Amino acid sequence: MPQATYYEPAGVPLASLQCVTLTVAELEAIRLADVEGLYQEQAAQKMNVSRQTFGRILESAHRKVAEALVNAKALSIEGGNFELLPQAVPGRARRRFRRGRSGRSGPGQLPP
């Protein structure tokens, strides 16, 4: 899970601030592709999705981040359709994402 879940531009009055919501899966796609520098095929395997699905998640994430930066909007990170799976890595928890989990409240949403 992200350490911070809300970012806002400095100097913009809260009353006029609009917000863009980035899902946890979109943040993970940005982390894998842009921070770790993985190719989409490798990143898709880590998230347990197809390469095409990973590409769509990453494209959506980039669009939302760009919208927030260019248009001085807040960025909220929340929800999405994911499952954290523990990995056997000594001293470090790893994340994997799985699509299509049942029991969620609506498509791509976690219960409040």
Query: What residue segments make up the domains of the chain, in order of their start?
Result: 1-6+17-102
pLDDT, tens digit, for every residue of 50-83? 999 999 999 999 999 999 999 999 999 997 655 5
Query: Is 80:47 a contact under the CB 8 Å cutoff?
Result: no
Q: Is 1-6+17-102 a domain of CATH 1.10.10? A: yes
Q: Does pTM surpass 0.75? A: no
Query: Is 69:12 a contact under the CB 8 Å cutoff?
Result: no
Query: What does pLDDT average to over the chain?
Result: 80
Helices 40-47 & 51-70, crossing angle to 10 degrees? 100
